[in-house]
Structure 1
């Protein structure tokens, strides 16, 4: 819990600074790169886990012991229910063929050495073949690509769009495509391995030096395997995916991957054409034209070909792993080519450095970036009692020019589950975070499968441990499996509280994708109420959202113990923008539509009496 006596001084000072800056916190919405004028909701599924009905959950279990989901588990019924939840895009995570510990040699696929694979099922971010898909996901591995193509068709039939991962910074230690189109060579096939760096090498090398297995790791938890011999044949050794230049990386390095060379010299300088001044204001067509006569590194060409291959198959866009480890000039080159094929392609990047956000949006031509470091981290601190919510206003102001591009989420494959003890502590405590995350901006909202039924990631999967649903192991996802109900996808095994939670998500997400106000203006109301309104407690947060046709007031209580009752003050700036005359107005909550309150406007200012229970939120619409 917060030490209030000490914390008050700090938060008051911070808030007074905010007050000096934020007389008008409206958003300046930039939609130049936006594929839609409606709110987008992305549903991330870990494809290997989604359809798994097996509940054994043995640590380090095999497919035979713990089961695995398939492309075919995404039935018409399953996709209909996902769509009905309020989803517009599915992110199928872990689709490209990555390194794993299982014998598929009967299908012409070489075995992977467990000493350079994380877990048994392998990391989806150690891709082995970019022109095919994970054989684990197919009923018939020989037809795995056709089974995924059928899933693409079913997804579109359900009126959903889909994205998959591209991992540009690194690939599996043993990349070996069996599916290259004619004329396409594997990564590294033509590299000069006698030098550390050459512009058109796909990798960086440690010449004349053998790669060594990291110390301290126990592949397959000590299980015997013919390939576990303390060695991995890589000569000369390559730089590791996270940039380690050691022939023997540390066990905490991304030792299962090798770093891709994009023409960045070992000293950090660029060995390729740079974008001219002013290109941050140019559209993708002008970026595309710029690159047409430019000589670029070989790795750029390879990844562009990969992206266009999947676009041609009907994939609607990509989530780019660790995009900031790759120069934004490359993104300009590849993303502009993608947009020329599909102007509405959805391009989402994992970027964690706020100082680089605008470069990757404006120069790299990304549609969306993760809003983790600011909004996500702030909300996590608030619900854990480490911070008050006032700073959300500063975050919104600081991102006003790019807010549409900053995708909001509370759960994904990398992060601790929202409902876990390490995060919110319960699904109910996560509700106000979800309301704010969904409604505070025009940006897309992302939900991770199982989040909507309170999945807490309690399993010890083996390589992956509790609080995060493991991406390295064969494992079941208990709450999600109860909703899946042995493939009926009807929630038949959910508890009453899980059914209620899913209903909450369904109401919130469906409201968000139909609300014009959530694609409109924003004005924070903390300044008018914080420290000024009796009963407006420390963990309250409120703001207004509006369009020409819809006007909303959002009120959220982040406290799980305190009921707040107060006269909410609606600033004169909002009343003026809404063109309201003095009088009484009705406000109805849009989540459940069972609560209606009255707003009194007098002398150009509004007041509404509000009672908010612990972890409760309202989206009041002016009627």
Structure 2
């Protein structure tokens, strides 16, 4: 939701409230290099599918189509421009699809608080004292039954324009994902678009008490909300005068803040623009709803749905059920859940089982950062996928930066063997630093071997952030949004991405040579991962054997095998921007046997560019592959039989 690190004391308290594990999570026994990681039931099903795997393209919707290059910090929509739903033309969607994309996550679609005046459309003004930036955080949703007016050519028809975008996306054979943010809503939540008979959040709350099970919010009785004390280097709207920017916001009694702060005056670092939703978790952390029995970790989604039928659940559960089913009926194919770990697992069982009754193929992706909770949120909460941030992304980032080791990546994959299919991989998203920013790698090329690893090491989906494929560096402060992350708070243009857009042609015509080459790499890699059967097949690492036996092989290299019944691959990545002396990779005898090979010579051909071929020699049952690795080598070698 917000640029990390975010684990302030209040957030930690909120996590303690919501995240008491329903069952004790069990970490499976790790696999050795002699036991191919394809033996789990999930992987066996994937290996038989014969298809590639899912590729999610995250796009910050209001930035994607913006061709304005002014980029004035704290600039207005009129000064800096804004992208629209209509900017996702057939040409734009074809350019996204070229990356092997199966799902487009349109970030920032639900109507969130924004400073621009839309009162002529019946939308109330938002107070800058409780809005981050001028364009507003997409994670401070103001009306869950409509979309952001900024994104429409005609705000009066904004919902119809989004429906047209859903249809265009489907026509390009891609699914549509949007955000759902159950943990919190905008401080000034007010749905003017809710269906007849649907009550607004908080409409029936008893505000005289801190907690009641069917209250939608938590309260601080007897105290009025106060805006944070602004830091010396911060001015609302960059210091511009605004009639509502008066250092106050009328809220009595004060509500708990979205990250769990119980102070009437939250801190500037709190999520002060939001209020926390009550899901029936008492202030002491105990639950005011039926617990989900531990054995439901092994039960079907239909059994989860049946469990909740006829049970009395908190009012907030029903409100969010109605919201997600509203969007599902409209044609949305799935959801990315913000800060899911701050909401009880039982709620997710309830919500996700209801969604799957309507759309069994819905794609449900959750942001969870506590590894000890992963299996609870997958098995009990019935998520399809979780971010693999804390384990895989963090270790890969450290290895790229030179103060981590590829050894750790092998350990992570072993520890995740039973759930690896469900752990979505990425190198960029709206919360994380851009690869090309000095704060991360400083050079988009350094992300190429890392992206190879991220996209090919497991059967999990891979996610790309818009502009990643052309090396966007996010080098400027946008106002509330700061350098290294593309702003989610301001009206802004994204320079490298704009060069790919080429004034609406979406043909990359304005890219530099380096950017064009980078885009070509991403297209080749992501299409390969989305189309090739081995990507949904078996995995086995050969890294440890080569660390022990192969001269010059160190912890800035990574190597592993991927295979299915019809395809056998050797993947090698060099994270160092320097060449290695010639080396000979070893493939242990048990894996040669798993591939069904006998002694002799076999051709390995490189799959991304077709510019390299080498020989796998099997002698006495052990394989060896001679390689000369160039700087940042990213190799997928296929056995030709």
Which residue of 105, 108, 125 corresponds with 1:91?
A: 105
Q: Provide the residue aligned with 2:638 in structure 1.
A: 621
Output the CA distance in 2 between the equivalents of 1:613 and 1:537: 15
Q: CA deviation at 1:232?
A: 0.3
1:463-474 equivalent positions in 2, closer than 5 A: 463-474=480-491
Q: What is the CA–CA distance in structure 1 between the aligned matches of 2:245 and 2:616, rounded to whole Å?
A: 70
1:404 to 399, 408, 421: 421
Alignment of 1:209-220 (within 5 A): 209-216=223-230, 217-220=234-237
3-state SS of 2:488 partner = coil
Deviation (angstroms), 1:81: 1.4
Q: Which residue of 1 aligns with 2:52?
A: 38
Report if the CA contact (8 A) 2:97-2:172 is conserved. yes
1:551 aligns with 2:602: no
> Which residue does 1:328 correspond to in 2?
345
SS at match of 1:618: strand
Which of 135, 159, 166 is residue 152 of structure 1 equivalent to?
Answer: 166
Contact in 1 for aligned 2:34/2:590 (Cα 8 Å): no
Aligned: 1:440 with 2:451: no
User: Which of 402, 412, 422 matches 2:439?
Assistant: 422
In 1, are the aligned partners of 2:31 and 2:414 still within 8 Å (CA)?
Answer: no
Unpaired stretches in structure 2, ≥5 consecutive residues: 1-28
Give the Cα–Cα distance (whole angstroms) in 2 for the partners of residues 606 and 84 of structure 1: 36
Q: Distance in 2 between matches of 1:28 and 1:477?
A: 44
The SS at the match of 1:301 is: helix
After TM superposition, give the deviation of residue 240 of structure 1 in Å. 0.1
* Structure 2 partner of 1:379: 396
- Alignment-derived partner of residue 240 in structure 1: 257
Q: 1:262-310 deviations in whole A, cap 9, x for unaligned?
A: 0000000000011123100011100000000110000000000000000
Structure 1, residues 184-233: CA drift from partner, whole Å, max 9, x if none?
01100000000000000000000011000100152101111000111100
Unaligned runs of 5+ in 1: 1-17
Q: CA deviation at 1:563?
A: 2.7
Q: Is the 8 A contact 1:46 1:93 kept in 2?
A: yes
Between the aligned partners of 1:147 and 1:231, the Cα distance in structure 2 is 35
Which residue of 1 is the match for residue 293 of structure 2?
Answer: 276
**1:477-511 CA distances to partner (integer Å, 9 max, x unpaired)?**
00000000000001010011111111100000111
C-alpha separation in 1, matches of 2:382 and 2:609? 39
Query: Which deviations, in whole Å up to 9, do the C-alpha atoms of 1:528-556 show, x marking residues without a partner?
Result: 10042112233111000111111000000
The aligned residue for residue 291 of structure 1 is 308
Distance 1:157 1:31 in 2: 30
Alignment-derived partner of residue 349 in structure 1: 366
TM-score by length of 2: 0.93
Mapped to 1, the partners of 2:39 and 2:182 lie a distance apart of 32
Partner of 2:247: 230
Q: Which residue of 1 aligns with 2:626?
A: 609
Are 1:459 and 1:466, in contact at CA under 8 Å, matched by a contact in 2?
yes
- Equivalent position to 2:177, from 150, 156, 163: 163
* Relative contact order, higher structure (CA 8 A, sep 6+): 2
Question: Is contact 2:301-2:353 (8 Å) kept?
Answer: yes
Taking the TM superposition and a 5 Å limit, the aligned residue runs for 1:529-540 are 529-540=546-557
Tell whether the 8 Å contact from 1:536 to 1:564 is kept in structure 2 after alignment: no
What is the aligned partner in structure 2 of residue 9 from structure 1?
none
8 A contact 2:36–2:538 mirrored in 1: no
- TM alignment of 1:27-106, pairs within 5 A: 27-31=38-42, 38-106=52-120
| Contact preservation (8 Å) 1:28, 1:400 | no
SS of the residue aligned with 1:568? strand
Q: 1:26 maps to what in 2?
A: 37
User: Partner of 2:26 in structure 1?
Assistant: none
Alignment CA distance shift 1:354-1:26 (3 Å):
same
| Aligned partners of 2:52 and 2:534 also within 8 Å | no
* SS in structure 1 at match of 2:445: coil
CA distance in 1, matches of 2:449, 2:436: 13
The alignment's C-alpha RMSD in Å is 1.5
